[in-house]
């Protein structure tokens, strides 16, 4: 069967190509507009920001951006093959390799421990490994912060892993779309740095270096997340689990922002080691390489274990 043209027109058999431009355009438009509204409004209200309906609506709808965009791109009869693939990625537990559970559940907490230990000679304290008494994703809203920590990964990954990363697959090595996705995912967070009282805004207020470290750290985190995703047969569940562990661990421990910059360095080192040690995976070529999916939505298994 000939390779589908890169202009995203209908593929042979009536199947429709993935549409990365449409998907990421919609995602950024939905999320950025909503976050911008919340950001502007957050600087004109006092008290509990999330009690303001405009702010809460903006933050919630913005969080749904990747999923809403995926739903739009998956709509229509022509996209049935990709919808079937999405359903399988979400529900088929046979995709998951048991050996990856420790990686998904314990990998990030282990890196936090390493970062804390590295920080000790520079004035850090082992007390950073104690459980935090408050959750501060949203300042002054502990319950909402816990809710965001658990639900945000699911909402994001249903869009990112459900459609986004596979939409970027081409005929080149898998590392290219993964790094591109990392840059896009990092940029998606930018408006959050201007929502008063939100985690990202507090980072920026404390130091621009911490904000830049966070944005840079998203890229190696993307490499690791998608390595887990593809190595588990493109299981959305595994991507959600790892993403949730990252979010919860980041707030559950009393790790300082300076130590988190060390953590992002550790993430970069792990991502680099994965790329070097699993070269057949990251440098595999062709539509759907690395247990991926062809741009027409058909499964193509190219795993090299």
In angstroms, the CA 232 to CA 161 distance is 12
Catalytic residue among 15, 156, 157, 251: 156
**Does residue 156 have an active-site annotation?**
yes
Domain boundaries, the chain: 13-300
For residue 17, count CB atoms less than 10 angstroms from its CB and return exposed for 0-12, middle for 13-18, buried for 19 or more. buried
Cβ(12)–Cβ(297) under 8 Å?
no
What is the residue-level pLDDT of the chain in tens, covering all 305 positions?
A: 333 333 333 333 333 589 999 999 999 999 999 999 999 999 998 777 767 889 989 998 999 999 999 999 999 999 999 999 999 999 999 999 999 999 999 999 999 999 999 999 999 999 999 987 665 555 555 555 566 667 788 889 999 999 999 999 988 899 999 999 999 999 999 999 999 988 899 999 999 999 999 999 999 999 999 999 999 999 999 999 999 999 888 888 899 999 999 999 999 999 999 999 999 999 988 554 444 444 433 434 434 44
Give the 3-state secondary structure of residue 97.
Answer: coil
Please give the model's pTM, rounded to 2 decimal places.
Answer: 0.85
For the record, the structure tokens of 206 come out as 């404390």
How far apart (Å, rounded) are the C-alpha atoms in residues 152 and 208?
A: 24
- The yes-or-no answer on residue 51 being catalytic is no
Handedness of CA 150, 154, 157, 159 (dihedral sign): negative
CB 164 within 8 A of CB 27: yes
Beta bridge partners of 138: 198
Name the β-bridge partners of 10.
16
Q: Which of 15, 43, 157, 189 is catalytic?
A: 189
């Amino acid at each position: 069967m000939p390779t589908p043209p890169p202009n995203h027109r209908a593929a042979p058999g009536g199947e429709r190509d993935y549409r990365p431009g449409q998907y990421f355009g919609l995602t950024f438009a939905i999320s950025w507009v909503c976050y911008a509204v919340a950001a502007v409004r957050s600087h004109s209200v006092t008290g509990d920001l999330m009690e303001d309906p405009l702010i809460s609506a903006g933050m919630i709808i913005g969080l749904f951006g990747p999923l809403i965009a995926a739903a739009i791109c998956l709509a229509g009869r022509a996209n049935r093959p990709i919808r079937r693939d999405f359903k399988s990625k979400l529900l088929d537990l046979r995709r998951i390799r048991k050996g990856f559970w420790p990686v998904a559940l314990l990998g990030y907490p282990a890196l936090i421990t390493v970062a804390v230990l590295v920080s000790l000679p520079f004035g850090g304290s082992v007390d950073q490994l104690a459980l935090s008494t408050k959750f501060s994703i949203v300042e002054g809203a502990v319950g909402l912060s816990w809710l965001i920590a658990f639900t945000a990964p699911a909402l994001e990954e249903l869009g990112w892993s459900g459609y986004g990363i596979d939409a970027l697959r081409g005929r080149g090595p898998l590392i290219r779309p993964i790094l591109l996705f990392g840059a896009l995912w990092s940029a998606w967070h930018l408006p959050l740095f201007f929502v008063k009282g939100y985690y990202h805004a507090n980072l920026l207020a404390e130091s621009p270096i911490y904000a830049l470290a966070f944005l840079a750290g998203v890229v190696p985190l993307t490499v690791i997340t998608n390595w887990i995703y593809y190595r588990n047969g493109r299981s959305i569940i595994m991507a959600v689990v790892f993403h949730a562990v990252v979010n919860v661990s980041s707030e559950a421990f009393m790790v300082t922002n300076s130590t988190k910059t060390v953590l992002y360095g550790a993430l970069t080192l792990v991502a680099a080691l994965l790329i070097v040690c699993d070269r057949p995976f990251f440098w595999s070529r062709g539509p759907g390489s690395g247990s991926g999916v062809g741009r027409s939505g058909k499964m193509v298994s190219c795993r090299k274990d």
